[in-house]
A and B are shown apart, each in its own frame.
Chain A
Amino acid sequence: MSVKAELLCVAALCCFTSLACATPHIQSWQSASGAKVLFVENHDIAMLDVAVSVPAGSSFDAKSGVAGMTHHLLDKGATGLSEDDISRGMADIGAQFGGSFDQDRASVSLRTLSSAAERDQALNIMAQVLQQPAFMDAVLTREKVRLISALKEAETQPESIADKAFQKAVYGAHPYALPVSGEVVSVEKITIQDLRDFYAAHYNASRAVVAIMGDVTRAQAEAIAGQLTAQLPVSGGHAALPAVTMQIPAIEQRIAHPASQSHILIGAPGMSRSDPDYFPLYVGNYILGGGGFVSRLMNEVREKRGLAYSVYSYFMPLKQPGAFQIGLQTKKEQADEALKLVRNTLAEFITQGPTEKELRAARQNIVGGFALRIDSNRKILDYLSIIGFYDLPLTYLDDFTARVERVTVAQIRDAFARHIHPQAMATVIVGAPEAKAESAGGKNK
């Protein structure tokens, strides 16, 4: 057999438990352009994954939707390449070109065969797209129409309505409240100049993070990082985001909708990527509502009472504190019962914390399942991007299981008590039970 056995574990062996596995050896350097590079060399599969991330997410929007549209238009025309040249050029060699976009981060990613002809063609196109985007008028006009129709559609669907109302209730005037893809009224007003300005201000090499995973050598990886960032615009300062207001008023918003189910979201600002309580909150949340079929919320709401198919809680760790969110869907007639149950479950967890037994089970799962987090090139690439973008230590993966092992019941109780205040949370119910929706509706515009 020729799929080599050593694969992921080029170096760095860390053995905290019998189940620990070798973590990937991350090489990191700064490219001449100023970009930060994280690289894992691995030749088991003849392919290469690359992702370039910049702090150019929706929270940097002055006009809601500009950041998203800038990102969206990157691969729709560059100097010397029409959008058709780009999509055909990638398709001809079987390359997969993609990207992701959230409040903090805009990224462009590539998966290609690592053989020279395919790799070079794919990287050449990617380099053009990142560094010479054309932002053409006709394309913007067309994509605005498409985006607006998608936004209007989203405004009729209960899940999207709930998400939007929830972000607004949790973040108020903070940019994290902005819908990631924009709003109809502001998208209508986006101009080519908006995109050019946004690109020049936010797509800078000095703030870019290049993640490279796969079948290239260190020397090749250095050349790739240079090729993808040397021509990015140079700009000066980067306005910092305003601080998130952590304490929010208790709000319950009921929104009518003809759907058969109520979509319920409960939450508040939660934690940032750099929060010192990251691990106690992460492990604690596994017990509360992150651990799939074995979480407390799942057990109370679904297993014991059959009230919902899906119920969960999570922390969205961002540069600034991202949301802590609990979500579920249940038929209208039982929405109030389910809501009460979720609130009680949360309150009990906050006041009493988890049991030792629950913590042991959580540790067993997270530590015992660590190997599953890094069992593919795709997953490792994502970790490289996150580690680079959020300035996490290069030993983040090496330390991960030990950090989880050290979490105590007292730390979880303490961290939750400081971060989560059940008396001061936003609740959004879309497709609310009729009588109450009407009474709430009376106060609405």
Chain B
Amino acid sequence: MRIYLFFVAMWLGSGQHIAQAEVFERTLANGLKVIVKEDHRAPVVVQQIWYKAGSMDERTGKTGIAHVLEHLMFKGTRSVPAGEFSRRIAAAGGRENAFTSYDYTAYFQQLHKSRLPLAMKLEADRMHNLNLSADEFAKEVRVVMEERRMRTDDQPQALLQEKMMAVAYQEHPYQNPVIGWMSDLESLDVADAAAWYRLWYAPNNATLVIAGDVKASEVFALAQRHYGGIARRVLPPRRNYTEPVQLGVKRMVVKAPAELPQLVMSYHTPVLQQPEQDWQPYALEILAGVLDGNESARLNKHLVREQQVASSVGVGYDSASRGPSLFTLQATPSTGKTVGDTETALRQEIALLIKEGVSEEELKRVKAQVMAGEVYKLDSVFYQAMQIGQMESIGLGHKTLPVMLAKLQAVTAGQVQQVAREFLQDDNLTVAVLDPQPLSGKSGHKVEGAAHVR
């Protein structure tokens, strides 16, 4: 995990190249918000459609349905047979895929700019004409189960993460994995998928982001033509969860086949609510940068290089999400060191932070990286569109991006120290440990040269 910063506005170090964010937006009569980011460096375009429906909107017993529906969106509509969506995009030279998170579900295509109308036509079609058959559902849910086995069940670190989230959150739906629990996947049916689709797939629950070598006015006209006729729907009320206050440290162990133990320490932390007024989430972003934002950052320098108590370290914090956030420290103990040694070392780093704060030099370094990142970001049209879509989908809006950038630059050393003191506390903490298990089995795992010729 790395410090994950979302910003858009431009600030270029050198002065001679001041780029302005060319972001235009318009909302169609049916509620679909269309945002265009012009970038004329190459004759390409990306279309992303973001639905504000993620796994956090699922109900007990139906986990995974947001993601299963994402898969089913490729299985055809009244006028486009199953698999044909992908074939037509491929034949147009395009690349496409989709992703589901706790907060949203998004679909994208990258193509030559001349093929945008095709992509819009297909995407608009599946917003309201999806065919859901029991046969396709049965096949595709098996694919999703394989995906779960591959990404989670057979990956010790992912398994640790999944089980940590389930313990850290007592009530908030972030306790459930995006891909869903296996027993839920086994019990879902096509009616669940249809219900989910009816509930959330509506123009007034979506943001369309188009970025690349296009003219905003032309994109708005195209969007009106393809999406404008889709009827607005009444959306269900959204449930707001307030995670109950944690009243003491939680500890857990996960056993899985592996060689190395792992330690994860996650603290409950706030996210941005009022970006103009808030300061704590920005201070937490900078704190993550001071600890692990670069090779010279504290944890790598102290724990990996100097004390050699960890062979790798990581810090994660995300200030922008629909639900609450965790500030997570992760470490792999060094050979000959225990998880306990590593936890002690991490706690010493936290104590040092709380006692002595951070230096101006460290602060400046993290901010310099944020600013350079703003320039580097211009090299990826896709990523710029992602930022816009994410910010819209979590409810803050893309206009918050420049605000966040300015606020990050304004964070003081005192504020970093203050958030460390306030949030990195045991009462807020979940400690999860991966306890590595030998690969069982009679023949062991290092069987070699065993071949039989066919």
Contact = CB atoms under 8 A, between A and B. Distances in A.
Interface residues of B, number: 99
A218 interface: no
Contacts of A251: 451, 453
Contacts of B445: 155-156, 161, 255-257
B450 A169 contact: no
Interface stretch (B119-127, B143-151, B396-404): B143-151
Given A253-B450, A441-B443, A309 B258 contact: no
Interface string A260-271: 110000000000
Given A46-B14, A145-B335, A153 B258 contact: yes
**Residue of B18, B115, B257 with highest tally of chain A CB at under 10 A:** B257
B311 A150 contact: yes
A92 B92 CA distance: 44
A47 B379 contact: yes
A3 B364 CA distance: 28
B11 to A, nearest CB: 11
A243 interface: no
Contacts of B141: 306
A242 interface: no
B257 A19 contact: no
B39 A165 contact: no
B146 A2 contact: no
Interface string B410-454: 000000000000000000000000001001111111111111111
B447 A441 contact: yes
A413 interface: no
B112 A371 contact: yes
Contacts of B140: 306
Given A8-B41, A371-B44, A441-B450, A329 B149 contact: yes
Given A46-B375, A156-B259, A252-B454, A145 B150 contact: no
Contacts of B40: 1, 3-5, 7
B169 interface: no
Contact of A375 (B41, B143, B149): B41
B112 A152 contact: no
A257 to B, nearest CB: 6
Interface residues of A, number: 104
Nearest to A343: B454
A19 B42 CA distance: 12
Contacts of B335: 145, 148-149
Contacts of A88: 296, 365
Contact of B38 (A1, A47, A254): A1
A308 B143 contact: yes
B453 A114 contact: no
Nearest to B450: A444
Contacts of A305: 139
B368 A258 contact: no
Interface string B361-396: 000110011111101101111000000000000000
A95 B293 CA distance: 12
A310 interface: yes
Contacts of B131: none
B364 to A, nearest CB: 8
A47 B83 CA distance: 41
Given A255-B445, A369-B95, A92 B365 contact: yes
A372 B41 CA distance: 12
B150 A441 contact: no
Given A21-B42, A87-B295, A156-B257, A294 B86 contact: yes
A437 B453 CA distance: 14
B296 A158 contact: no
B368 A93 contact: yes
B449 A444 contact: yes
Nearest to B436: A156
B311 A146 contact: yes
B45 to A, nearest CB: 10
Interface of B: 12-20, 22, 38-44, 74, 82-83, 86-87, 90-96, 110-112, 114-115, 138-147, 149-150, 153-154, 156, 257-260, 293-297, 300-301, 304-305, 308, 311-312, 332, 334-335, 364-365, 368-373, 375-376, 378-381, 436, 439-454
Q: Which 7 A-B pairs have the closest CB atoms?
A: A368-B93, A94-B372, A441-B443, A369-B93, A306-B142, A87-B295, A115-B14
Given A8-B42, A46-B12, 15 more contacts: A3-B40, A3-B41, A45-B19, A90-B296, A95-B372, A113-B375, A153-B258, A168-B448, A253-B449, A260-B149, A261-B149, A292-B90, A361-B91, A427-B454, A437-B443
